[in-house]
Amino acid sequence: MDDTLQTISLDFAILNSRITYLDSGASTLTPKPVLDAMNEYYNEYRANIHRGIYDISEKATTEYEKSRQKVADFIGANRMEEIIFTKGATDGLNMLSEMLASLLKDGQNIIIPVTEHHSNMLPWRELARKCNLEIKYIYLKDGVLDEEALINTIDNNTAIVVIGHISNVLGTIHNVKAIADKAHQKGALCIVDGAQAVVHIPVSMKDLGVDAYAFSGHKLYGPTGAGVLWVDYDLLERLTPTRVGGDMVDYVNLDTIEYAPIPQRFEAGTPPIAEVIGLARAMDWIQSIGWDYIQTHEQSIVKYMWEQVSLRPWLKVLGGGAEQTRIACFSFVIDNIHTHDIAYLLAKENICVRSGQHCASGITEILKIAGSTRVTFGVYNIQSEIDALMQILDKIYIKFK
Catalytic residues, which ones? 359
Site for another protein in 148-187 (CB under 8 A): none
Instruction: Mark the segment that binds another protein (CB under 8 A) among 53-61, 316-324, 341-349, 376-384.
Output: 341-349
Decide if 284 contacts 71 (C-beta within 8 A). no
**Among 2, 233, 344, 365, contact with another protein (rule: CB under 8 A):** 344
Decide if 60 contacts 37 (C-beta within 8 A). no
The yes or no reply on residue 338 touching another protein (CB under 8 A) is yes
Interatomic CA distance for residues 388 and 346, integer angstroms: 10
Instruction: Mark the segment that binds another protein (CB under 8 A) among 11-19, 29-37, 98-106, 353-361.
Output: 353-361
Least separation in angstroms between residue 47's CB and another protein is: 40
For another protein, the closer of residues 47 and 345 by Cβ is 345
Decide if 112 contacts 137 (C-beta within 8 A). yes
Least separation in angstroms between residue 318's CB and another protein is: 15
The yes or no reply on residue 18 touching another protein (CB under 8 A) is no
Rg, Å, the chain Cα set: 22
Least separation in angstroms between residue 307's CB and another protein is: 25
The yes or no reply on residue 339 touching another protein (CB under 8 A) is yes
Q: What is the DSSP letter of 371?
A: -
Interatomic CA distance for residues 397 and 401, integer angstroms: 6
For another protein, the closer of residues 139 and 344 by Cβ is 344
The yes or no reply on residue 126 touching another protein (CB under 8 A) is no
Interatomic CA distance for residues 201 and 175, integer angstroms: 13
What are 316's strand-pairing partners? 333
The yes or no reply on residue 371 touching another protein (CB under 8 A) is yes
Least separation in angstroms between residue 341's CB and another protein is: 5
**Among 44, 238, 340, 366, contact with another protein (rule: CB under 8 A):** 340
For another protein, the closer of residues 18 and 348 by Cβ is 348
Least separation in angstroms between residue 330's CB and another protein is: 18
What are 257's strand-pairing partners? 252
| CB-based contacts of 107, cutoff 8 Å, min separation 6 | 132, 133, 134, 157
Least separation in angstroms between residue 209's CB and another protein is: 37
The yes or no reply on residue 252 touching another protein (CB under 8 A) is no
Interatomic CA distance for residues 232 and 81, integer angstroms: 9
**Among 84, 169, 280, 396, contact with another protein (rule: CB under 8 A):** 396
The yes or no reply on residue 373 touching another protein (CB under 8 A) is no
One-letter-per-residue 3-state SS of 141-194: ECCEECHHHHHHHCCCCEEEEEEECECCCCCEECCHHHHHHHHHHCCCEEEEEC
The yes or no reply on residue 365 touching another protein (CB under 8 A) is no
Separation of CA 316 from chain center: 25
Give burial (CB, 10 Å; 0-12/13-18/19+) of 103: middle
Residues that bind another protein (CB under 8 A): 336-341, 344-345, 348, 355-357, 364, 370-371, 395-396, 399-400
